[in-house]
Structure 1
C-alpha cells in the first residue's frame, strides 16, 4: 500500500475546522439565524485553552458549551474563538483554539463533526487563564483523523453555556472521503 506523503487526513481535518471557523465567524458578525445553535466540545487542557481554574477543576478533560441564547462577546480569529458564558450565574470568558475542539454540532441542521486529537496535541500546556484577551494560539501541526461521531454523555453544567447530548442525524466521516478498496 502506498504511503500518504500528502497527509490527506490533516488536510481534511483542517478543512473541516475551517467550516467551524466560518460558521462561528458568520455568527459573530450576523448573529444566529433561524433555529441554528451550536454544541461545541473541547479539551480543557489543550494548548491555548483559556478558562478559569474553577472551570478547569470541574471539567479536567473535556467540556461542552452551547452557543444559543445566553452568550456574549463572541470573537473569532484564524486560530481560536473567544466567548462569554455564564456558569451557575458566574460569568466566564473562554478562549478556545480550533485545534482543541473535539466535537461540533448544530442540532437544528442535524450536522455533527467529531475531531480526534493526537495524544501530544491533547496534552495540557500551562494554564492559560492569565493570558491576555484576544491572543490566539498557533494551530497544531499534528492532528489525527476525523472519525464517525459516536454519541457520548458530556459532563458539563446545565445552565446557559453548557450542554450534554446533541442530535446526530447527519454524520460527517473521513471514511466518506476515502476510496474504498
Structure 2
C-alpha cells in the first residue's frame, strides 16, 4: 500500500517559502527592518558552488549570514546565487534549495530545519562539524526551529 509522504511534501513547501522570500528580497534589493538570515547548507551537495578555500574550511556544512551587505541575489526554481563579503573579499556562491539544512531569521524567532534524507543528499559525505558549530547552536537556540522528526512514522 502506497503511503503519503508528508515529510517530503513539507520540505517542498518550506523550500518554496524560502524561494518566495528570497525572490521578494531580490526584487527589493534589501532586507526590511531588522530581518537577517542564517542559512546553513550542505557544502558537498551536488550543484553547490563556493570558492575552494571556503570548501576546504567547511567540508560538510557552512552557515552564511545575509544581513547588511549582499549583492547579486538571483533566485531560480532550483536555488539561489548571492555574493557575500568574506573578510573584505566579495565571493559569489550558488546554493541549491535541496542543499539547505537550516534557515533562521533570529529577528522574529523564525526557523526551519530540513532533515537530510538519502534522496535529498546524493553526494553528501560524512565529515566533522565545522569550527563554527558553537555559533550554529547559539543561532538555533535563538529561534524556534520546526523539525519534522516528531511527525515521521517510526
Given the two structures, how large is their TM-score scaled by the length of structure 1?
0.70
* Count, aligned residues: 144
Distance 1:175 1:60 in 2: 25
Confirm or deny: 8 A CA contact 2:57 2:130 kept in the other structure.
Answer: no
Q: CA deviation at 1:4?
A: 5.6
1:56 corresponds in structure 2 to: 55
1:81 corresponds in structure 2 to: 80
Unpaired runs of at least 5, structure 2: none
Confirm or deny: 8 A CA contact 1:37 1:108 kept in the other structure.
Answer: yes
Which secondary structure state, in structure 1, belongs to the residue aligned with residue 108 of structure 2? coil
Confirm or deny: 8 A CA contact 2:73 2:83 kept in the other structure.
Answer: yes
- Residues 60-99 of structure 1: per-residue CA shift (max 9 Å, x gap): 0000000001211111111100000121222210000000
Q: CA deviation at 1:106?
A: 0.3
Given the two structures, how large is their TM-score scaled by the length of structure 2?
0.82
Unpaired runs of at least 5, structure 1: 126-152, 157-162
Confirm or deny: 8 A CA contact 1:45 1:123 kept in the other structure.
Answer: no
- Residues 139-166 of structure 1: per-residue CA shift (max 9 Å, x gap): xxxxxxxxxxxxxx8645xxxxxx7432
1:116 corresponds in structure 2 to: 115
1:137 corresponds in structure 2 to: none
Q: CA deviation at 1:116?
A: 1.4
Which secondary structure state, in structure 2, belongs to the residue aligned with residue 82 of structure 1? strand
Confirm or deny: 8 A CA contact 2:114 2:147 kept in the other structure.
Answer: no
Q: CA deviation at 1:175?
A: 6.0
Counterparts in 2 of 1:55 and 1:169: CA distance versus 1, 3 Å:
closer
Counterparts in 2 of 1:8 and 1:71: CA distance versus 1, 3 Å:
same
1:135 corresponds in structure 2 to: none
Aligned pairs for 1:29-178 (under 5 A) are 29-30=27-28, 31-124=30-123, 155-156=131-132, 164=136, 165-166=138-139, 168-174=142-148, 178=151
Confirm or deny: 8 A CA contact 1:51 1:95 kept in the other structure.
Answer: yes
Distance 2:36 2:2 in 1: 36
